[in-house]
């Protein structure tokens, strides 16, 4: 792990301690990297509940309850699916705040209107604010995934600052 991700994780953990939030992650293209970054921080067992790595559409349906018709209508890489992922993660965990990441890290997988580097994010606070966003990151697979991890933690930190 690098210093930037270490610092972000420590800041997220401190914000969780201050706010009392517990995190759950629902990841696709990042393959558990967000959970790995968060759990590399000492003391994370006090503010990180669990992570779901739902790479396939079937796993998104089975583990997070993402409706098949939502996947069919919008595709896995979409804000509606990112929102369904955070809602499902909150419903299936003891967490109070959730994040989701679903995207096309490359080098293949692009579709019309969704080039490699397209990543959709979701964040939700239990019984509170929900937010989704789509970003595009340039670079190879590793770069897209790393930038996705950085972005989701940066926004999570900002969301927590608003919630405390």
Q: Consecutive sets of 10 residues in the chain, 164 residues long: mean pLDDT of each? A: 93 96 98 98 98 98 98 98 98 98 96 96 95 98 98 92 60
Using an 8 Å Cβ cutoff, are 11 and 5 in contact? no
- pLDDT of 160 reads 74
CATH topology for 21-139+149-163? Maf protein (3.90.950)
Question: Across-strand partners of 48?
Answer: 23
pTM score = 0.96
- pLDDT of 159 reads 84
């Amino acid at each position: 792990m690098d210093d930037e991700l270490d610092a972000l994780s420590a800041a997220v953990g401190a914000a969780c301690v201050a706010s009392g939030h517990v995190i759950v992650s629902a990841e696709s293209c990042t393959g558990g990297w967000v959970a790995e970054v968060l759990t590399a921080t000492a003391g994370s067992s006090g503010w990180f509940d669990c992570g779901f790595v739902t790479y396939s559409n079937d796993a998104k349906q089975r583990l997070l309850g993402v409706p098949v018709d939502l996947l069919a209508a919008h595709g896995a890489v979409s804000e509606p699916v990112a929102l369904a992922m955070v809602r499902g993660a909150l419903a299936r965990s003891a967490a109070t705040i959730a994040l989701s990441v679903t995207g096309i890290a490359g080098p293949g997988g692009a579709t019309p209107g969704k080039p490699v580097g397209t990543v959709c994010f979701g964040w939700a606070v239990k019984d509170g604010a929900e937010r989704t966003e789509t970003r595009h990151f340039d670079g190879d697979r590793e770069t897209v995934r790393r930038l996705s991890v950085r972005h989701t933690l940066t926004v999570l930190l900002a969301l927590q600052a608003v919630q405390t």
